[in-house]
Structure 1
Amino acid sequence: MTQLLAHRLDAIKPSASMAAKQRVDSLRAAGRPVVDFTIGEPDFATPPHIVQAGIEALLGGQTRYTASAGTPALRQAIAAKFDRENGLAYAPEQIVVGSGAKQIIFEALAATLNPGDEVIVPAPYWVSYPDMVALHGAVPVVVRCGEEQGFKLTSEALEQAITPRTRWLILNSPNNPSGAVYSREELEALAAVLARHPHVWLLTDEIYEHFVFGEARHVSILAVAPELQDRTLIVNGMSKAYAMTGWRIGYGAGPLPLVRAIALLLSQSTSCASSVAQAAASTALQGDQTCVNIASEVFEQRRDRMVGLLRQVPGLRCLSPDGAFYVFPSVEGLLGTRTPQGKMLASDLDVMMYLLDEAQVATIDGSSYGMPGYLRMSFATSTEQIGAGCAAIARAIGLLQPATASLSKENDHA
């Protein structure tokens, strides 16, 4: 039998975050009370005024196809948002709407990459970046940005990674999974490198922009380096700030030729994003932003709670994230220990599975984000769940034995 599936599928793997969600759902269906720290979406309901806008769109007959790039109303609302919140000027024609920010990134790469092109992906990275690059025949050039750099790309590392084949740099701030937020000075340094390499385009994913904590501030790189605007695609969406993950509305703003190319691909794939969801998104962007501010305050409180609890657990090391709604603790201090059953924890994947089996707490391994030795844990859940989950983690880790102790016991029984 001849092979049916395309060879390009060999280059990608399933989304780690979606796989984790399926694992949690399966365990819960089997009756296991799992504390879920894998979820990458706000646990709040979509604000009522946004839901009402969707209902009114349905009742008003806004249930037909829209232009592939999005409705004029939504594109105008997005342009106004960029002006109001980011100090950036975009015409509605420079904006394209898709079924989630993920689709905008996918189509942008599809429109621009040829086999052998390179895309610089700082690690830790959102799980889908490298696979989307590889799916289009290009090469993800992963640059490790360790804890010692605050999980952020330095200008020196960027300079070393650029080659004549580099097509894009993907930048994500605030970052999933680390919560790192680039400062104005750090962005200026990266922009200076890009200025020396005009063949490199910039894709900046800013979907967590409204969730920054303490003294941190979100700054769009184009606000500090407007000269890059003619080769930059800003990607954002409604999922995180407005708790609209299931509504599936994302958008991109960039040079007109690129926006038109993305819209062309959309016309031959999904045709357009949901008309009803676009109407609700227009209301979200133009309406009262109190819901966004409240969500950010709640997430900051949860961050402080989770970080405080995890720092009390021997073997864990946890930076306090400046943004998004994830912590990214190191579990390197647990590697080499043994479970009560005698199994050695040799990797972050082993630790993840041990916590799931012993503590009934679901996390995601850092290896899936290009950073072995860490776990991603979401605090987009209630304070009660954070307390219960961290307590269960502490109990489970308290049962671990040093490898040397386990070996001594084995020798005693020899």
Structure 2
Amino acid sequence: MRFPLPKKDAQGNYKIGIMRRLGELINYPKLNEGSSEAPLSSKLIDYHITSKRRGCFLYFNNQRYQVSQTSRPPDFHAREMGVDSQYIAVGVDNIFEDVIQPFAYKLIKDLEQNVHSGWDNMKKHDAYSVRSFMSFKYIPSASLQIPHTHLSADVINWCETFYDSTGSFDRALTESVLDALAFVSFESQTLGDVEWKCFEGGSQVLTDYITAYITSTTIGTKPLIQFNKKVTCISQSGDTAMNVYVRGESSPRTYSHVISTIPLPSLRTIELGGAGLNVMQKNALRKLQYAPSVKVAMRFQSAWWTELFDIIGGQSSTDLPIRTIIYPSCGAESSTPSTVLIASYCLTNDAERLGALINTGKIEYEEQLKELVLRNLAEVHNVDYNFLLDQYVDMHAWDWSDNPLVMGAFGFFGPGDFQALYTSLTVPNANKRLHFAGEAISTRHA
């Protein structure tokens, strides 16, 4: 999808950055040399995190604004949401940055100086959700010139409306800080020097190259990657081995160690009674939260967002059900620009609601989803619904929570989850022979 890769120094090494290890993987010699395929690094193309030309749209409370360098956005009827003018004058972005920035800067110092005082400070506040921190702990900086007191529920609701998704402020404060680090959502000399990239052909290009390299080697007669092998049970085999049971196989496979990268909700569907989990680990598998996420892609006859509004890349935001619209960066300068739009990208509560119309197997709900998305697109861009209906070619919707292989999009922890539940899965169990890895076990998951 999109990767903020840090730039390289004079010696050709990646600078400090959240995605530095990914950059090093992309440039790994064995994925770039000695193959009939083009080097993996040559597949990187520019991703425009903001529109390359004219700005994208903000549409909230029935007010529309195309982002501009020369004009200020409207107040989006903030007063009718119970927000005083002094908060409106400062703006959501400045308030939220003031909440997140002190934690983020201390974590950056950890990276620069190889210390962990910033993370220790973050853990002290991990019991807070974003909402509870803003309600009971946060005091605005004097430079903002707003009341030197905790924020009201109305102001917090107003901030959440423009920040991400409905209900996102009910998740852990830690999550929002780490998210801000990943997206470099504040001034930072250390993390700010990034180049946003994506893969021509999609992110699967990366795993295709890795798969091709790994499968070029075998152990005995068996390939290193085996597909369509449904694991039904993981258990200890004495003190020195682990048994893995595979559906359709009469006897278990025995290994010295097992590393599970299965998404945690799906891992709970496997029999683990004899796997040696301790009580905290069992509770972590049950309790650690995953975010619902939905994407609806639409193909049109033309890239009307560029033709009508000069938008290339970037994203528009709205309080309508589709919430976020992501415009393609790829092909923008070619004679055949992409005509596929991520017409809706929803998280948390918004994804749960829109997801109810996806994968029902009923045409009536597919048509309802199509009409809803097209009408929302028309409203955000102030174009006629029938124009978009004529432009429409096809739609593909995806709900990660509805997928039995993952049962959720990515880890999105609740307050306090990083303290003990998360850390219980960062160490091995079963006599140190069962290991947990994968997206949710990464400190910067998602």
Q: TM-score, normalised to structure 1's length?
A: 0.25
Higher relative helix content = 1
Please tell me whether Structure 1 or Structure 2 has the larger radius of gyration of its CA atoms.
2
Q: TM-score, normalised to structure 2's length?
A: 0.23
